[in-house]
């Protein structure tokens, strides 16, 4: 199965703010969609995260994109909307010590995010699709398929509005 993993446009949020499930708007999705439509195959089904920064782009890529909660960004719990500098250092250190397993207060771990994203991919029955989602989702999926250990997950970076193509074995 071939997946076109698209990261949403740049969020309109102050720099240095922790956001995952925070439903913030993004820069002009129409212009990002124009660039993507020039490189994506025509007629593919489109799935999207339920968050606005993805939904708006997906609506320009397909008349009826399908929304799936499993494509949402990592839930940072009590950290959502806080400045990274204001999050207790001990909590950030605990996360750094256990990249995949640490759960921010009231949130989810990157491994939990990976499980739900892999569950979504396993549910697909099409040979090719466009997935409009977040860097965390793309990162954990690619880390799984590439067999990367958690300490290397953060090395995977994706530009806003960029498409990453991957062939997933069935």
pLDDT of residue 169: 83
Query: What per-residue confidence (pLDDT) applies to 133?
Result: 98
The mean per-residue pLDDT over the stretch 55-61 comes to 98
Domains and CATH numbers, the chain: 2-167 (3.40.50.1240)
Q: What pLDDT is recorded for position 62? A: 97
Helix (H) or strand (E) holding 47: strand 46-48
Q: Which of 131, 134, 140 is nearest to 165 (CA)?
A: 131
- pTM equals 0.95
Q: What string of DSSP letters covers 110-153?
A: HHHHHHHHHHHHHH--SSEEEEEE-HHHHHHHHHHHHT--GGGG
Q: Among residues of the chain, what percentage have pLDDT more than 90?
A: 98
Each residue's pLDDT tens digit, 101-113: 999 999 999 999 9
Partner residues linked to 127 by β-bridges: none
How far is the C-alpha of 103 from the C-alpha of 121, rounded, in Å? 23
pLDDT at 151 over 80: yes
């Amino acid at each position: 199965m071939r997946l076109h993993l698209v990261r949403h446009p740049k969020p309109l949020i102050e720099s240095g703010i922790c956001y995952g499930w925070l439903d913030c708007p993004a820069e002009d999705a129409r212009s990002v969609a124009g660039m993507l439509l020039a490189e994506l195959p025509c007629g593919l089904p489109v799935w999207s995260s339920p968050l606005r920064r993805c939904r708006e782009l997906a609506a320009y890529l397909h008349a009826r994109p399908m929304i799936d909660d499993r494509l949402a960004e990592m839930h940072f719990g009590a950290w959502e909307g806080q400045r990274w500098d204001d999050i207790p250092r001990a909590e950030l250190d605990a996360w750094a010590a256990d990249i995949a397993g640490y759960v921010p207060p009231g949130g989810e771990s990157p491994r939990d995010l990976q499980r739900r994203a892999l569950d979504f991919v396993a549910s697909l029955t099409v040979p090719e699709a466009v997935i409009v989602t977040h860097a965390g989702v793309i990162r954990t999926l690619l880390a799984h398929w590439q067999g990367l250990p958690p300490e290397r997950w953060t090395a995977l970076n994706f530009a806003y509005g960029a498409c990453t193509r991957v062939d997933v074995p069935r």
